[in-house]
Amino acid sequence: MQYAEPINRLIKSFAKLPGIGEKTATRLALFVLNTNREYAEEFASSLKAVKDSVGLCSRCMTFSDVDPCVICADAGRDKSQVCVVSDYKDMMAIEAFAGYRGAYHILHGNLAPLKGVGPDEIKLKELVERVASNGVNEVILATGFDAEGDATATYIAGIIKPYNVTITRIASGVPVGSFIEYMDPSTLGRAMEGRRTI
């Protein structure tokens, strides 16, 4: 006995989500099947809306439904300070710690040569262009402290060095392999305040 094709299709879609196995995917699909029509329609339309109306900010590369994003458009923020993070989640984590009032640059990944992720696969060119166009005094490298995040920070430091900007790396103070999104706000605050010039 097989599930009807539309149910199978939904199970397959759920199974592609991170951390969702076949069993959970089946449970979620059956939940949708048993729930009311309004919920299913709202769920479907929110999935579509996130792809239709959210793009990348042309300055900092963050996900945004407006361009420039609210952070880049905020006159109260110091655009000469650019905090470089591996992904959107890390930016949101730093943002949750209210102390930072500069701008961001989201790489959308870390360099990982063994996985085929080179400089052209992440938003590195855009960062270099931003630094080269002047107006940036400090680049804060806030990529993770795992091997890939560290290698990415070292690589970026090397390519932006000629542009005469201060390059800093946030202080680790957390076990090796920790990602920024999992740091609690006070650790993140200390990591930001304890950043060192490299």
Work out whether 72 is an interface residue with Zn ion (CB under 5 A): yes
CA-based R_g, the chain, Å: 20
Total of residues contacting Zn ion (CB under 5 A): 6
Our CB check for Zn ion shows the closer of 106 and 153 to be 106
The least CB distance from residue 103 to Zn ion, in Å, is 7
Q: Which of 11, 25, 29, 69 binds Zn ion (CB under 5 A)?
A: 69
Candidate ranges 46-54, 55-63, 84-92, 131-139; the one touching Zn ion (CB under 5 A)? 55-63
CB atoms closer than 10 angstroms to residue 194: 13
Our CB check for Zn ion shows the closer of 60 and 94 to be 60
CA distances from 96 to 99, 102, 142, 179, 180 (A): 9, 13, 15, 15, 12
Q: Which of 11, 57, 153, 192 binds Zn ion (CB under 5 A)?
A: 57
Candidate ranges 44-52, 67-75, 109-117, 151-159; the one touching Zn ion (CB under 5 A)? 67-75
Candidate ranges 26-34, 62-70, 92-100, 177-185; the one touching Zn ion (CB under 5 A)? 62-70
The least CB distance from residue 195 to Zn ion, in Å, is 21
Candidate ranges 14-22, 35-43, 72-80, 161-169; the one touching Zn ion (CB under 5 A)? 72-80
The least CB distance from residue 101 to Zn ion, in Å, is 14
Candidate ranges 1-9, 50-58, 80-88, 150-158; the one touching Zn ion (CB under 5 A)? 50-58
Our CB check for Zn ion shows the closer of 59 and 130 to be 59
Report the residue count for the chain. 198
Work out whether 169 is an interface residue with Zn ion (CB under 5 A): no
Assign 3-class secondary structure to the chain. CCCCHHHHHHHHHHHCCCCCCHHHHHHHHHHHHHCCHHHHHHHHHHHHHHHHHCEECCCCCCEECCCCCHHHHCCCCEEEEEEEECCHHHHHHHHHCCCCCEEEEECCCCCEHHHCECHHHCCHHHHHHHHHCCCCCEEEECCCCCHHHHHHHHHHHHHHHHHCCEEEECCCCCCCCCCHHHCCHHHHHHHHHCCEEC
Please report, as ranges, the residues that interact with Zn ion according to CB under 5 A. 57, 59-60, 68-69, 72
